[in-house]
Amino acid sequence: MAAIGNGKDAGRLRGAAGRLRGHVAFWFKVLAQPSIDLSLRTHPGHVTRIVESPGLSLPQDELDKLIAQLRDIAAKTLPANELTYGIFSGGRERLSRAIVTLISEEGSGRPIAFNALSVMQVELDGAPVDVTHLGLVMVDPDARGQGLSWVLYGLTTLVLFLRDGLRPRWISNVTQVPAVVGMVCETFSEIYPSPRPEARQSFAHLQLARGIMRRHRSVFGVGDDAGFDESRFVITDAYTGGSDALKKTFAQAPQHRDAQYGEFCARELNYDRGDDFLQIGRIDLAAARSFLFEQVPHRSLPGLLVASLILALQRLVLPVVYWLDDTRAFGMLRPRQGSGR
């Protein structure tokens, strides 16, 4: 019996070591690849693929296959061909700015969920900055309730944050769903609008919101005739630009476990008209730490690995790396300007 037990323990150790090697290789690729195309086993029986700029990085046959997988998931959620904006427009230009997170069954390869992020360039304090829009999330109804949210909403932004040297990144989100409003508020930093007492609208929030609404409405399917309330960051009559099939009543919208988010949405949004929040915030060290410790399952080795890495970088290495990098801004320090000769 002891020999059998020892054999099982050895098997578990070998399995854990194999998974750890895979996770270490994943994060090394994240930091090394100029354009992300990575796969990771995030749940038992599930594989997650993250593809950055598929419109630029994938040949046409692979791009067509990826879009077909996304449409398979969408078809189980919405009537056929109801979405016409963003990645579903089929244009390479749209897909060149997208970052697709696709979860599939490991054995069959059947796609079950995806998130399509977009990177938008917006002006802030006179300089261009990238804003990562959290994008469209869809889950096969048969796969709901399997704990996929932390992958679909947080993992890809964490990968981008790490790949960018742990520099804070602006994020945006457009939604009328209380569950999503709450998820964004609890995952990222400096979120506005939010029912949480610390939420404040800064001038940076306002600049970014104006730039997004002026130049990037097509990213989230909002037409030119939709209004925008700058004091509340509410898009009025939002479902006029190809996203009509996503419009919900309050009763249809999934609720968050914390009732304050449902109360906030019911109070601020007109569901008959079709209003959305435009949420803006950042992923930074505090948000990354909170995501890893509070949302990633404790059994997840990647979460523990990256959490340790982040804490070490925060305390020992990160300030030195920022100081020595003369190609990018850090606080009051500005990048060295080349002579051009």
CB atoms within 10 A of CB 159: 23
Element (H, E) at 9: helix 2-32
Residue 147, both tokens: 């704990």
Please give the Cα distance from 83 to 211 (Å, whole number). Answer: 24
Amino acid type, 193: P
CB 261 within 8 A of CB 194: no
Q: What is the pLDDT of residue 97?
A: 81
Ranges assigned E (strand) in the chain: 37-43, 46-52, 98-105, 111-124, 127-139, 169-175, 189-192, 227-229, 234-236, 276-283
In sequence order, what DSSP letters do the residues of 234-261 get, joined into one string? EEES---SS-GGG---TTTSPPPSSHHH
Q: Tell me the C-alpha to C-alpha distance, in Å, between residue 134 and each of 10, 109, 279.
A: 42, 25, 10
341 residues of the chain, pLDDT tens digit each: 445 555 555 655 665 565 656 666 665 665 555 677 888 877 778 888 989 888 888 888 888 888 889 888 888 877 655 565 666 665 677 777 889 999 999 889 899 999 989 899 999 999 999 999 998 888 888 888 777 888 888 888 888 887 777 789 999 999 999 999 999 999 999 999 999 999 999 999 999 999 999 999 988 889 899 999 999 999 999 988 767 778 899 999 999 999 999 999 999 999 999 999 999 999 998 898 888 777 777 666 565 466 556 545 555 565 666 666 666 665 555 666 654 43
CB 160 within 8 A of CB 120: no
Please give the Cα distance from 280 to 274 (Å, whole number). Answer: 20
Residue 333, both tokens: 């320090």
Element (H, E) at 99: strand 98-105
